[in-house]
Amino acid sequence: MIFADKLVQLRKKSGWSQEELAEQMKVTRQSVSKWEGAQSIPDLAKMVQLSNLFGVSLDYLLKDEIEELEPAAPAEKGEEKARWVSLEEANGFLEAKTQTAGKIAWATFLCIISPITMLILGAASETPGYGITEDMAGGIGMIVMLILVAAAVAVYISCGHRTEPYQYLEKELFETEYGVEGMVRERRENFRAYYTKNNIIGTCLCILALVPLFGGLIISQKDLFLVIMLSLMFVIVGVGVVCFIRVGIIWVSFEKLLQEGDYSHQQKLKNPIITAISVAYWCIAAAVYVVFSFATDSWSDSSRVVWPVAGVLYGAVRVILSAVEKKSQVRDR
């Protein structure tokens, strides 16, 4: 059996079309067609890639007299070996993400609305007739905020534990077994309309969230009323974020299995220090907020300026990290 016939047999056994094999090999469909039509043969590097992809030996691919499948030689010490993802694992992963997406979305909603009690009670404490002191407002507001954040964190941890067995999909290189890619692409196409609809709704809600705030300015200039309108803005933004997150998590799970977008082979090989720096940055921002609030004895207007400033500076940090990353990639080449 010649190489061309073996390639056709292996491709069909894996359940791939010529286009899908071309994607795996990072070549054009025409190249695969020529290989299978015995019009050309891959170079040695592509032969090695085909050997690893199909799990057969180079001898089997190159020697016409060898008819039976021979397993590929074991990887050398220190050589990275791709993991194989079965159809059962892929379905389990998608099911786990579907079950946890909504929970994570509403946990994020709790975090967004957590300061509302503190804001409203703080404004009420400055309005005569409500009998609420500033200390009482701060204390009750902080307790409610901590309870909501704690509940959200509990949900995050629970969902993280549910999806922990599939963490390797984000960081490791892997190959999918027969039928996995086709199943994922089909589910993604069926999900596309719902994904688009939720993104449209989320975007509209985030834009319209400013209406209560500006409308409140027209109706009344009283602080308590304006704070209530601001709180309503937080609620609307929170619902918009829920729309984004609950479909975004599922959509990203498709990309992880297909190893596309941010989860392509190239992206997985990027320096993980960038992620660590991003996490550390926001931890430092939170620490600055707490220290500044304690130092100024203000948990409202003056201390909240930390967050928009941190957001603007984070954009600059990301630009710098991206520039460093690109410079590193050019140097490695």
User: What's the average pLDDT block by block, 10 residues per block, for the chain (333 residues)?
Assistant: 84 82 87 86 86 84 69 48 79 94 94 89 85 86 92 94 87 77 91 96 93 86 86 92 94 89 62 58 65 59 57 63 56 48
**Measuring CA to CA, how many Å separate 242 from each of 29, 173, 208, 232?**
40, 31, 15, 15
Tokens of 209: 């969230």
pLDDT, position 307? 58
Distance of CA 35 to the CA centre of its chain: 37
Amino acid at the residue 228: I
User: Which among 71, 53, 70, 82 has a CA at the least distance from the CA of 1?
Assistant: 70
DSSP 196-217: HHHHHHHHHHHHHTHHHHHHHH
123 close to 230: Cβ distance less than 8 angstroms = no
pTM of the model: 0.62
